[in-house]
């Protein structure tokens, strides 16, 4: 029973909110932390209630008690939905654009110095709905000659299977890319939708084919082909506790060699989490050894 006096749930602005006790919050918070590394402080309680109420409704459940029971007997599939519901997927093409200019300059420099011996590996860790890795592919295609482009491999990973599905499709509403129109040549990166896809754009195949998407939980066991020459892990660690950040940064650093680059979110830093990098520009780091 909740304070509205109705059994289990109540309607609020069109969304049915299920009654959510402190005990419910603590159980969910613990599960989310164990499974995703995301730390939910008390300020997130309403957000969790709102996002999961949608899930409970989808499942046809009557209460969070039932949902907790379902999670207890879960084979992993509901945990996937839980992670999808809790993650924050905010992203954009050319988000923190100075970082992509920096990448463009480094790639152009290398090309001018004679090109690339082997593969150039770029990893977008926490790629969300794909805007970040496609921006990287866009830069690669803009800056490099075809023979060098072919050597660039972009790996894009995320824990959120729904976000990854959007990323793999590479289809976005026009208003997502419209703000870029003055600054970038949109025709070089997108095809305009027609018929049922009117109002949408699709990432061009020559960008799409440069990116490999994979579901990967950063706080579980994983391995990627190393060295990663350019590692983007932006606006992911902000959701983690310092201890989780420290442990993750150590493993991410293991994927890179001396001189490789790390890109963080604008509000993130390595201060007190990792001393293996030197800061070379705002939110851009270079591996020391
Ligand atoms: C705010 S988005 C950042 C997207 C992009 N990197 C950017 O800066 O625009 C954070 C992403 O991190 C992902 N994430 C959160 N916890 C994760 C984990 N344990 N493993 C992998 N990805 C995770 C979320 O699913 C979400 O898509």
pLDDT at 117: 85
Residue-wise pLDDT tens digits, 235-256: 999 999 999 999 999 999 999 9
Rounded Cα distance between 257 and 227, Å, is 6
Q: What's the total number of domains in the chain? A: 2
State whether 275 and 146 are in the same domain.
Answer: yes
Which of 86, 118, 142 terminates a domain? The answer is 86
pLDDT digits (tens, 9 = 90+) for 105-132: 999 999 999 878 899 999 999 999 999 9
Per the annotation, the verdict on 97 as an active-site residue is: no
Ligand 1 pocket residue status of 265, Cβ below 6 Å: yes
Q: Do both 228 and 282 map to the same domain?
A: yes
Query: Among the three residues 24, 51, 86, which one is the final residue of a domain in this structure?
Result: 86
**What is the C-alpha separation between 198 and 212, in angstroms, rounded?**
27
**Residue 29: which residues within 8 A CB-CB, separation 6 or more?**
40, 48
Active site residue 51: yes
The answer on pLDDT for 4 being more than 50 is no
One domain, residues 147 and 42 = no
Distance from the CA of 155 to the center of ligand 1, in angstroms?
Answer: 14
Rounded to the nearest angstrom, the distance between the alpha carbon of 163 and the centre of ligand 1 is: 9
Q: What's the gap in Å between 99 CA and the centre of ligand 1?
A: 18
Residue 187 resides in a domain: no
127 and 31 both lie in a single domain? no
pLDDT digits (tens, 9 = 90+) for 191-230: 999 999 999 999 999 999 999 999 999 999 999 999 999 9
Residue-level pLDDT at 14: 66
Instruction: Give yes or no for residue 234 CB within 6 A of ligand 1.
Output: yes
Q: How many CB atoms lie within 10 A of CB 217?
A: 16
Q: Which domain holds residue 50?
A: 9-86
Pair 135, 239 in one domain: yes
pTM of the model: 0.94
Kindly report, residue by residue over 159-168, the tens digit of the pLDDT: 999 999 999 9
Provide the mean pLDDT of the chain: 94
Catalytic residue among 24, 158, 160, 260: 158
State how far the Cα of 282 lies from the Cα of 277, in Å rounded to an integer: 13
245 lines ligand 1 (CB under 6 A): no
Q: In this structure, is residue 46 part of a structural domain? A: yes
Same domain as 110, residue 81: no
Backbone phi, psi, residue 59, to 5°? -80, -10
Structure tokens at 76: 């992993």
Pocket lining: 167 vs ligand 1, CB cutoff 6 Å:
no
Q: Which of 224, 236, 239, 265 should be mutated for ligand 1, with most atoms under 8 A from CB?
A: 236
Residues 147 and 71 in one domain: no
């Amino acid at each position: 029973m909740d304070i509205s006096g109705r059994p289990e749930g109540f309607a609020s602005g069109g969304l049915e909110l299920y009654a959510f006790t402190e005990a419910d919050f603590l159980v969910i918070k613990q599960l989310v932390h164990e499974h995703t590394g995301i730390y939910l402080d008390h300020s997130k309680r309403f957000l969790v209630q709102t996002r999961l109420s949608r899930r409970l409704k989808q499942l046809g459940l009557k209460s969070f008690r039932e949902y907790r029971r379902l999670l207890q007997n879960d084979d992993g599939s509901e945990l996937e939905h839980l992670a999808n519901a809790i993650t924050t997927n905010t992203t954009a093409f050319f988000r923190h654009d100075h970082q992509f200019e920096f990448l463009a300059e480094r790639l152009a420099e290398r090309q001018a110095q004679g090109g690339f011996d082997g593969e150039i590996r770029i990893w977008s860790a926490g790629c969300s709905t794909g805007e970040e890795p496609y921006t990287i592919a866009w830069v690669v295609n803009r800056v490099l000659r075809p023979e060098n482009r072919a050597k660039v491999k972009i790996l894009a990973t995320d824990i959120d299977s729904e976000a990854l599905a959007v990323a793999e499709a590479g289809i976005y509403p026009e208003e997502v890319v419209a703000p870029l129109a003055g600054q970038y040549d949109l025709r070089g990166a997108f095809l305009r939708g027609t018929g049922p896809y009117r109002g949408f754009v699709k990432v061009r195949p020559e960008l799409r084919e440069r990116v490999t998407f994979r579901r990967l939980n950063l706080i579980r066991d994983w391995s990627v082909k190393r060295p990663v020459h350019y590692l983007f892990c932006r606006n992911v660690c902000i959701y983690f506790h310092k201890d989780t950040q420290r442990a993750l940064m150590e493993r991410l650093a293991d994927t890179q060699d001396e001189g490789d680059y790390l890109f963080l979110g604008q509000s993130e830093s390595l201060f007190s989490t990792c001393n293996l990098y030197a800061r070379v520009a705002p939110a851009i780091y270079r591996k020391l050894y």
